[in-house]
């Protein structure tokens, strides 16, 4: 069965990560995965939330948004509606958790890094691209903190990237685009680390429950994609952050 | 290592499901799991959302709330704050998806069933208890729709129940309570069906990434708990819904 | 003229008050009056609002809510709508004022007690039941403050309870249920004290103005109901709070 | 004991009601009671709320607001805060109920009259002045509806006016000003009709519970004030509405 | 071409400014311009916004509102809708900027003056009337600050007033009323100073772009109106503020 | 006096307009002016607001937003705060008015075009860049409507572009960047047409009132910049919209 853009089932869409696109931000990148485009900025501020005072740990948090016409049909602007959708809040909670899962926050006890992930064009996979690009922007911001003398030690234990896998008409496919995603029976989003472990595994039966065998198959395929993303992250950061922060 | 309430690692907390506690509702139950208590009502209304018009399918949706003093410290009332927290929206989206995953909505093309899951006492596991109790309240409401002539066929393909598993200080534990949950390294919520498949698998590394072996171990343990919950659901519904709706 | 549930005109619905139903709360009770059920928690916190600083007085406040399906038809969740209805705010202001009216707040100058009154089932009389149950939960929380050394003296000058009286088709009835309340010409809510005085008297002509003779007659009947409620409060608290706090 | 402005205990503040102050409105008046000033407009629109469709009854509703500097200290603007205070909602519900209590709404089955009561200067008694002025503005708007052929019959069964009575340092006083109101032990707001009956009786023990004898005494004094207000309403409306609408 | 109220093209509507109408406010006035009526209060408070700390400058800000029935058709109350319209925010930002433009804020380094401009009757020109009346209320409040010893020096560099000019069916008209404003091709609002300079010039082509010649013609006419308004401001303030504050 | 980036006083920053950057939108462009970058999409939908029904005219409206880190310091996300700032609303009202001013809306009586102007990087001049880019995106969307048979005639009467001029330390400068803008005495934003007329002229004395001579000087300089912008718009649209829509 052919995929809309001619890919093989286990083929990732083309991925590029362009660093430094927003000059004001401590870290920033534009990640493009197929037609999906997410602009990520990382803002480091000398403040921490109240619940972390005197714990010796800094904070990492994320916000997510979609420009109104990132989607096929125009979506109402959340700022105009006066509230963020449940989907938005769910995604930004995921991004924050995923990145905190690979960072040693005791390296920057006085700082908060906020990742803003804004989708310029949406063609599925935006939450995963936000995690992948978010890790790059975070690394850049942490490098800047280090340069400014506000960070000690090695803050990044591993790299983190996100990928989706789905079951479409019985077939397991890597990195779904919108046309595939909207007809998938099962949708699995995985945040994996460069060390081969998982930070988040979120599988949902959109149409039909799945069994453990299918889950294992999807996880295996996810790992293939994650290795490719990890390579793209390495390339984007080369020469921009301390070399020892980038796990081999 | 002893658990706070003396349970063995694979032991579920005592579960009771009391049906019919809210006389006005088409379906209702109070589910108690250890100290956690969730009141679930299912309201059937003759209306469907716009996007389902002329599709021949009904709708199932869920809302979730916690009474302010369900928690150890009083939590501000969401109605007074003027918005629902991200956690609340994330949970109610999960409950709705999980229940839609086991229902044939073409059996009630004109109706919406809304599950209201309100936590009276929170001691961890409230989202899972909401799914488990939600399926019972849903079954009761569907039985009422059938009695009123507004439902045809067999709407429940399988039962659905939710359970949490965690890794605490290296040990895999079933059905965490609050003390355990707040120190867990990994937290896995699983919604499983009476047919042995999954509707939702949500694993999160709260402190330390996990590998696939740990994931498999946690899923195996989750299945043990799910069988027990399925038995509790059967007992609660016996004689209250058509016998053929309750899978053996 | 027969009442829907067979009561005589001056007969109260059966009332039960179950203490300690929410383990986390400093005080809690479930009050049942006929089919109406309200869960009340009293949360004591070591803080006071800004306007009471340096006055030597603590604070008592109340919040009120109805679960969406407490009512015959499902009511939209206030947290989802993003604001509390005028009726909700009016009722919670009444509960707070009523309880403050019988308490010596100089006994706990550093503390705020928040009463959360959440209606699980509504069959009329929910604001009055919230006051009656609220006084019980408050007494329990104050006893807890005393035990923890955060209260001195005798904080409860009198007991307070709430009762409704109405004129339905020309007849004065005690403790209306929903069917009666929705057809009443006049609706009177009274908060009375164990000493025979009033804290709140709120009479409203829903359909037809009332004269002073009718008002006196309603007040006399209200007092009958209040004595019964006061007895129920005494029974509920026996052995749970210092004996001298419970006026003979 | 002298009152701040030299009045005797049972003396009303000077009251004037100026009609027609807002040219666009179907009815309007500026009511001045001592220093308190409330601008009331009545807007008649050809629409009714959904719950009145096919009942043959029109609707009357009220909204209340205070200009930010109506008060001694500037109060934050509710529009800027994004929500109306509980006090505001409580008052506007009272005004609407009070006026509906004396009107035959079957005379204008297709219309809604909205009373906007905006306080320009607040020196206590604003809710009562809103009712008193509201009845005048309502009468003017109904006369306009009649003139336009959108009203039949006699819509005003009785006049309605509001007055406050309080117990201050043991003495019963009519028509409290701000200095008196802020130190009152008991505060009673009464909406009475020209026929000598009550539409609303709201007594609150601000500091000390009150007994039935005090309540009777306060009601007797309220009636004195209400007669004076009714005379002021008659004078204001003379020649402006059909003579038979103004009860002798 | 005749104007609706018989004015010549360059004739201002009758303007009156009544000072001191709100007794609680440090400064207040009611400005009437034709049928338009705006009540302005100036509240002086001993506080400054965070961004001015340690700058040695005080603050001036404005809020604007319209009573619901100030308009021909009733407008929904912004407090009830839960947010201020874009038009409201745009106008109040203009008023604040305009007044700050003629004030030496280093004369009252610890104070904020808030101008509340509430439209009682709207017949076009409300933003300009708010500026004109706002300057008067501001002067009164600053005089009060001086009297209380909280102001030094001469705070008012010049007077400021606002006026509208429009092009209606090809003719340039001064001070449009609602009927004219709603059919204007071009609408120009000018805030000018008693020294003959501009603080704000806002010209908008409502229907047809305008050229520079038209702009010059409109500005010349605006200046005529501004001189008249400045005279009305002088008259209103005579004897109420230090004489040297009122530029000749 | 040297400008921060070495420009002469009357020199525009480099401007590029890249069309078609958002594949889903009927029209889109990325406009870059110096460091300022605004992504504009134009969404055409087959609907019109209620007030235009049966008028034979379509609608054009605009929304404006800034990504949180478009600014030097991170700005809180408006969607998270739950409301749009006054500045945002003021700007989007300006953009909509400006574009409506040069369009014949009777050419697309059934359609609404919504311009979404989202600032990716802010270095002053964002509202002007939004107008300039907005006109390009609008032209593209109208060309699409025409291609789809939903537009007749020639909808664009003239081109519209926006430019800022300011007085900084006594010198008139074209196209201020952030460093200049934040110290300007006067700030003038002009929306001009390709025919040499004005749609919007908004001059504000940020520090010091300005006289008519200064205004004329600023307008003359603005016209220089507008000609350059008009040339950039022509280049961007060449071959993309009907040639006769682009005025010579």
Q: Please report the sign of the dihedral spanned by the C-alpha atoms of residue A192, residue A198, residue A203, residue A209.
A: positive
Question: In this complex, is the C-beta atom of C200 within 8 Å of any C-beta atom belonging to chain B?
Answer: no
Residue of A114, A188, A127, A199 whose CA lies nearest to A160:
A199
- The secondary structure of E1-69, three-state, reads CCCCCCCCCCCCCCEEEEECCCCCCCEEEEEEECCEEEEEEEEEECCCCHHHCCCCCCEEEEEEEECHH
Per-residue pLDDT, averaged over F229-234, amounts to: 97
Counting as contact any 3 or more CB pairs under 8 A, the partners of E are D, F
> Is F86–E93 a contact, with Cβ atoms under 8 angstroms apart?
yes
pLDDT band at residue D1 using 50, 70 and 90 as cut-offs: low
Residue of E215, E162, E95 whose CA lies nearest to F222:
E215
pLDDT at C180 over 90: yes
pLDDT band at residue C2 using 50, 70 and 90 as cut-offs: confident
> Is A209–B197 a contact, with Cβ atoms under 8 angstroms apart?
yes
DSSP tally for chain E: helices H, then strands E: 5, 9
Neighbours of C46 (CB within 10 A): 12
What average pLDDT does chain D have?
96
- D103, D60 Cβ separation under 8 angstroms: yes
| Of B45, B67, B121, Cβ closest to residue C118 | B67
- Mutation choice for C interface testing from B29, B32, B39, B79 by most C CBs within 10 A: B79
Closest chain D CA to residue E42 = D69
Q: Which stretches does DSSP call E strand in B34-175?
A: 36-45, 59-66, 112-121, 160-168, 171-174
| Of E101, E212, E219, Cβ closest to residue F209 | E101
Calculate what percentage of chain B has a pLDDT beyond 70.
Answer: 99
The secondary element (H helix, E strand) that includes residue D87 is: helix D86-100
Q: A90-137: per-residue pLDDT in tens? A: 999 999 999 999 999 999 999 999 999 999 999 999 999 999 999 999
Question: In this complex, is the C-beta atom of C18 within 8 Å of any C-beta atom belonging to chain D?
Answer: no
Nearby residues of E201 by Cβ (< 8 Å), 6 or more positions away: E188, E189, E190, E191, E219, F201, F202, F203, F215
Residue of F157, E7, D160 whose CA lies nearest to C204:
D160
Closest chain B CA to residue C23 = B121
Question: In this complex, is the C-beta atom of C75 within 8 Å of any C-beta atom belonging to chain D?
Answer: no
Q: A124-154: per-residue pLDDT in tens? A: 999 999 999 999 999 999 999 999 999 999 9
> Is F198–E219 a contact, with Cβ atoms under 8 angstroms apart?
no
Q: Residue E248's pLDDT is what?
A: 64
The complex scores an ipTM of 0.95
Q: Tell me how far the alpha carbon of residue E139 is from its chain's centroid.
A: 13
> Is F93–E93 a contact, with Cβ atoms under 8 angstroms apart?
no
Neighbours of B155 (CB within 10 A): 24
pLDDT band at residue E68 using 50, 70 and 90 as cut-offs: very high
Q: How many residues does chain C have?
A: 248
- Mutation choice for F interface testing from A4, A63, A69, A137 by most F CBs within 10 A: A69
| Of A83, A196, A202, Cβ closest to residue B83 | A83
Which residues in chain C have their CB less than 8 angstroms from residue B21's CB? 120
If you search the block for the tokens 């009860």, which residue do you land on? Answer: D247
Q: F56-94: per-residue pLDDT in tens? A: 999 999 999 999 999 999 999 999 999 999 999 999 999
Burial of C51 (0-12, 13-18, 19+ CB in 10 A): exposed
pLDDT at E10 over 90: yes
Q: Residue F247's pLDDT is what?
A: 74
Closest chain E CA to residue D41 = E69
Question: In this complex, is the C-beta atom of F224 within 8 Å of any C-beta atom belonging to chain E?
Answer: no
Which residues in chain C have their CB less than 8 angstroms from residue B114's CB? 68, 74
Q: E115-161: per-residue pLDDT in tens? A: 999 999 999 999 999 999 999 999 999 999 999 999 999 999 999 99
pTM (predicted TM-score): 0.94
Q: How far off is chain D from C73, nearest CA to CA, in Å?
A: 14
Question: In this complex, is the C-beta atom of C43 within 8 Å of any C-beta atom belonging to chain B?
Answer: yes
Both structure tokens of F85: 């700032």
Which residues in chain D have their CB less than 8 angstroms from residue E144's CB? none
pLDDT at D246 over 90: no
Q: D97-137: per-residue pLDDT in tens? A: 999 999 999 999 999 999 999 999 999 999 999 999 999 99
> Is F70–A114 a contact, with Cβ atoms under 8 angstroms apart?
no
| Of B35, B67, B79, Cβ closest to residue C39 | B67
Question: In this complex, is the C-beta atom of A204 within 8 Å of any C-beta atom belonging to chain B?
Answer: yes
Q: Residue C248's pLDDT is what?
A: 65
How far apart are the C-alpha atoms of B136 and B113, rounded to whole Å?
Answer: 13
Size of interface A-B (CB pairs under 8 A): 88
- Count how many Cα atoms sit within 13 Å of the Cα of residue F195 in the half-sphere of its side chain: 12
> Is E77–D65 a contact, with Cβ atoms under 8 angstroms apart?
yes
Buried b (16+ CB within 10 A) or exposed e, A13-52: bebebebebbebbbbbbbbbbbbbbbbbbbbbeeebeeee
| Of B158, B193, B200, Cβ closest to residue A204 | B200
- Count how many Cα atoms sit within 13 Å of the Cα of residue D99 in the half-sphere of its side chain: 34
Per-residue pLDDT, averaged over D39-56, amounts to: 96
The secondary element (H helix, E strand) that includes residue E145 is: helix E126-147
Q: Residue C138's pLDDT is what?
A: 98
Burial of A238 (0-12, 13-18, 19+ CB in 10 A): exposed
Q: What angle do CA A190, A196, A202 make, to 5 degrees?
A: 15
| Of F28, F67, F83, Cβ closest to residue A39 | F67
- C63, C106 Cβ separation under 8 angstroms: no
Q: D190-245: per-residue pLDDT in tens? A: 999 999 999 999 999 988 899 999 999 999 999 999 999 999 999 999 999 999 89
Which residues in chain D have their CB less than 8 angstroms from residue C215's CB? 198, 201, 219
Calculate what percentage of chain B has a pLDDT beyond 90.
Answer: 96
* Selected residues 151-180 of chain F with any CB under 8 Å from a CB in chain E: 158
- Count how many Cα atoms sit within 13 Å of the Cα of residue D146 in the half-sphere of its side chain: 17
Which residues in chain E have their CB less than 8 angstroms from residue D115's CB? none
Q: Residue C247's pLDDT is what?
A: 74
Phi, psi of D9, deg, nearest 5 = -55, -35
Q: Residue A247's pLDDT is what?
A: 74
Instruction: Give the C-alpha distances (Å, rounded to integers) separating A240 from A44, A156, C1.
Output: 17, 14, 87
Closest chain B CA to residue A97 = B206
Calculate what percentage of chain C has a pLDDT beyond 90.
Answer: 96
| Of E90, E206, E219, Cβ closest to residue F90 | E90
Q: How far off is chain E from D75, nearest CA to CA, in Å?
A: 10
Which residues in chain B have their CB less than 8 angstroms from residue A203's CB? 198, 200-202
Calculate what percentage of chain E has a pLDDT beyond 90.
Answer: 96
Q: How many residues does chain A have?
A: 248
> Is A89–B89 a contact, with Cβ atoms under 8 angstroms apart?
yes
Q: How many residues does chain D have?
A: 248
> Is B204–A204 a contact, with Cβ atoms under 8 angstroms apart?
no
Which residues in chain F have their CB less than 8 angstroms from residue A82's CB? 82-83
Which residues in chain D have their CB less than 8 angstroms from residue C204's CB? 97, 199-200
Question: In this complex, is the C-beta atom of F63 within 8 Å of any C-beta atom belonging to chain A?
Answer: yes
Both structure tokens of B96: 């709705």
Both structure tokens of F199: 């749609």
Size of interface B-C (CB pairs under 8 A): 92
Which residues in chain B have their CB less than 8 angstroms from residue A89's CB? 86, 89-90
Q: How far off is chain B from C200, nearest CA to CA, in Å?
A: 25
Q: Tell me how far the alpha carbon of residue C98 is from its chain's centroid.
A: 8
> Is B74–C120 a contact, with Cβ atoms under 8 angstroms apart?
no
């Amino acid at each position: 069965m052919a995929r809309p853009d001619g890919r093989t089932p286990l083929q990732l869409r083309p991925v590029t990560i362009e660093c430094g696109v927003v000059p004001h931000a401590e870290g920033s990148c534009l990640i493009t995965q197929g037609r999906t485009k997410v602009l990520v900025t990382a803002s480091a501020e000398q403040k921490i939330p109240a619940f972390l005072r005197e714990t010796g740990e800094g904070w990492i948090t994320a916000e997510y948004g979609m420009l109104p016409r990132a989607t096929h049909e125009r979506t109402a602007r959340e700022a105009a509606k006066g509230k963020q959708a449940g989907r938005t809040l769910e995604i930004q909670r995921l991004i924050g958790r995923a990145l905190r899962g690979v960072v040693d926050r005791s390296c920057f006890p006085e700082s908060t890094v906020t990742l803003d992930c804004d989708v310029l064009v949406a063609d599925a996979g935006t939450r995963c691209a936000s995690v992948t690009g978010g890790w790059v922007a975070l690394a850049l911001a942490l490098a800047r903190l280090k340069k400014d003398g506000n960070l000690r030690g090695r803050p990044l234990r591993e790299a983190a990237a996100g990928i989706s896998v789905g079951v479409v008409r019985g077939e397991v496919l890597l990195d779904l685009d919108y046309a595939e995603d909207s007809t998938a029976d099962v949708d699995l989003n995985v945040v994996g680390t460069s060390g081969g472990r998982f930070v988040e595994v979120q599988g949902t039966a959109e149409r039909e429950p799945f069994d453990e065998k299918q889950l294992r198959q999807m996880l295996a395929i996810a790992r293939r994609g994650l290795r490719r993303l990890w390579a793209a992250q390495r390339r984007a950061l080369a020469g921009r952050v301390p070399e020892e922060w980038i796990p081999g």
